[in-house]
Chain A
Amino acid sequence: MGWAVKLEQAAAGYGRQIVLQGINLQVEPGEFIGVIGPNGAGKSTLLTLINGLATPCKGTVRINQQVLTKQNRRELCKKIAYVPQSTWVDNRLPLLVKEVVLMGVYGKLGLGRYPGAKERDLAEEMMGLVGINSLQEKPIGQLSGGERQKVAIARALVQEPEILLLDEPTASLDWRAGQEILDLIYRIQQRFKLTTFLVTHEINQLPHWCSKMVLVKKGQIVGVGKTEELFHQHILSELYGIPLKIIHDQGQPTVLYGRG
């Protein structure tokens, strides 16, 4: 089977500052990858390298065997859905939820073409899937953080992607809303078998869901492997630079923060 995503000696940065370097990563289609690491490690940049928003200053990024270049970036990224970290939206913005969800098809439609009944039905279906049908006529700026993340996920699904990139989708959400979003992501991944990258600090959820984990620290990948291989007290403690303790609750490993 070919690789869905393959990074070879990739490096990226902003201006003269290198944020990621020497990145080697191979991901098979349908894998669910959990990307973890401390703040500023380069996790978000890793996602933007994959969807072409960041240009590698060294090495190559391959999507479905094709090398990602400036020339084919726009074409390739139509297959990659991206849910960025929750951003501030003006509560007066003249955009409705259904319009934001429909944006998912705009890249594929191309310039000068407008969404028809097929695209609108797809948007309706995805809004139903993530449970925001009742919100579709609401202004986007008036939603709660959790609702806005559901809209972002619906927009990503409308894109009918092969790869789904999620950048801390539960950041700034309360526990219940965060759990709802993570459950939703898991259901979607299982249903559509999307190659999924989930950047998260909710590491306790990873053993249940992720087939693989990528550990990022100081701009480098310091560990890639199956979740059960990497989900160990000393590995995670070293990654985050604080003592962590793993206990097993009903057979499930759970990370506790604090003096181990």
Chain B
Amino acid sequence: MFELLQYQFMQNAVLASVLGGAACSLIGVLVITLNLSFIGTCMAHAALAGAILGLLFGFPPLGMAFIFCCLAAGMIGPLADKGKFRPDTALAIIFSLMLGLSFLFLNMLSGPKTEALNLIWGSILTVTGSDLVIMAITFLLVCGFILFFFKEIQTIIFNRQIAAALGIPAQIIYYGALFLIGTTITSFFTSIGGMLIFSLIVNPAAAAYQLTYSLPKMFILSALFGVSSCLGGLWAAYIFNVPAGAVIIIVSVLIFFSALAVSPKGERSLFTLWCKCRGEIWDKKLDYKLNN
């Protein structure tokens, strides 16, 4: 693996893994704690539809993906917020629309569809210098948003109504978070893949959620899990000659189940069972001492 690092494409892939893993999993904490999981999936598919439309008409795919993400955020936000029908129904309709558009545009593409399929599965080994610049800017944007609005994010996570009652611009920050999710998806989905990026947003954050009651620690753990998933996936892809994007997701799922198993929050996790066993052993020792 290390001898491969002398190649530019591998250096770029490692950098993209670190930036992508960190940015996606940091934004994932917002997605998980604000209960936006389905909104994010919907936006990932919107980005995919936009990018394929870009390929179809010769527009820059990233730019089109960004426009579609913003459109989706603009539609989803109000619908999920104060729709006249249930938010999950509204989301399901927009999700199916975006999925339908993706397949429609894909079908309309003439000739080999390699470029479009690359958008679906991603191609971390073909990341260019300009891609890295966009990724770095997005990473800084995500970090800046979280640091600058940390206390507001904390309050909105707790209760949006209370946040608004305290005079916090809850609505603006909520929509800002949606916009940022869209931006992150757009920036990283060509390298990680339109179908797979959302797993990288949800899984590391969901794993971190199992392990801590501290929001700052959750952000740090999530970023570590995201970067580990990407680097681990990249390494496994090299060793076993399999698609990197798919392995990245599998690694992130494995991390999630490991976190679930050792979670101090779960009643049936290994950690809790171990604590209970220790408690029982301790009780038995105490009984023995008291009885002898």
Contact = CB atoms under 8 A, between A and B. Distances in A.
A and B physically associate:
yes
A210 to B, nearest CB: 23
B197 to A, nearest CB: 24
Interface in B131-174: 148-152, 154-155, 157-159, 161-169
A111 interface: yes
Nearest to A159: B166
Please tell me the size bucket of the interface on B. 20 to 34
A96 B152 CA distance: 15
Nearest to A77: B167
Contacts of B162: 82, 84, 103, 155
A260 B113 CA distance: 80
A114 B147 CA distance: 10
A111 B167 contact: no
A258 B150 CA distance: 52
Contact of A87 (B33, B159, B163, B212): B159
A92 interface: yes
A19 B167 CA distance: 24
A112 B165 contact: no
Given A112-B148, A115-B151, A93 B157 contact: yes
Contact of B168 (A84, A94, A99, A106): A106
A84 B161 contact: yes
B84 A94 contact: no
B152 A95 contact: no
B167 A95 contact: no
B265 interface: yes
Interface string A71-100: 000110110101010010101111110011
A92 B215 contact: no
B165 A95 contact: no
A198 to B, nearest CB: 16
A77 B33 contact: no
Interface string A14-35: 0100000000000000000000
Contact of B164 (A53, A91, A155): A53
A51 interface: yes
A120 interface: no
Contact of B149 (A100, A103, A111): A111
Interface in A102-132: 103-104, 106-109, 111-112, 114-115
Interface string B98-129: 00000000000000000000000000000000
Contacts of B154: 95, 99, 103
Given A100-B158, A106-B151, A94 B209 contact: yes
A109 B155 CA distance: 13
Contact of A107 (B150, B168, B214): B168
B166 A107 contact: yes
B83 to A, nearest CB: 11
A139 interface: yes
Interface string B200-219: 00000000011011110110
Contact of A111 (B33, B148, B161, B218): B148
Given A111-B148, A115-B151, A77 B213 contact: no
B51 to A, nearest CB: 34
Please tell me the size bucket of the interface on A. 20 to 34
Interface in B55-101: 84
Contacts of B212: 94
A139 B212 CA distance: 10
A112 B151 CA distance: 9
B152 A51 contact: no
A5 interface: no
Given A87-B159, A93-B157, A106-B152, A53 B213 contact: no
Contact of A103 (B166, B215, B265): B166
A58 to B, nearest CB: 20
Nearest to B166: A107
Given A82-B162, A95-B158, A140-B158, A114 B151 contact: yes
Contacts of A109: 151
B223 to A, nearest CB: 14
Contacts of A75: 167
A92 B152 contact: no
B180 to A, nearest CB: 16
Given A89-B158, A140-B158, 4 more contacts: A94-B217, A99-B215, A111-B152, A114-B151
Interface of B: 33, 84, 148-152, 154-155, 157-159, 161-169, 209-210, 212-215, 217-218, 265
14 contacts: A53-B164, A75-B167, A84-B165, A92-B209, A93-B33, A93-B158, A93-B213, A94-B212, A95-B157, A106-B155, A106-B168, A107-B168, A155-B162, A159-B166
Closest 4 A/B residue pairs (Cβ): A107-B167, A107-B166, A82-B165, A139-B213
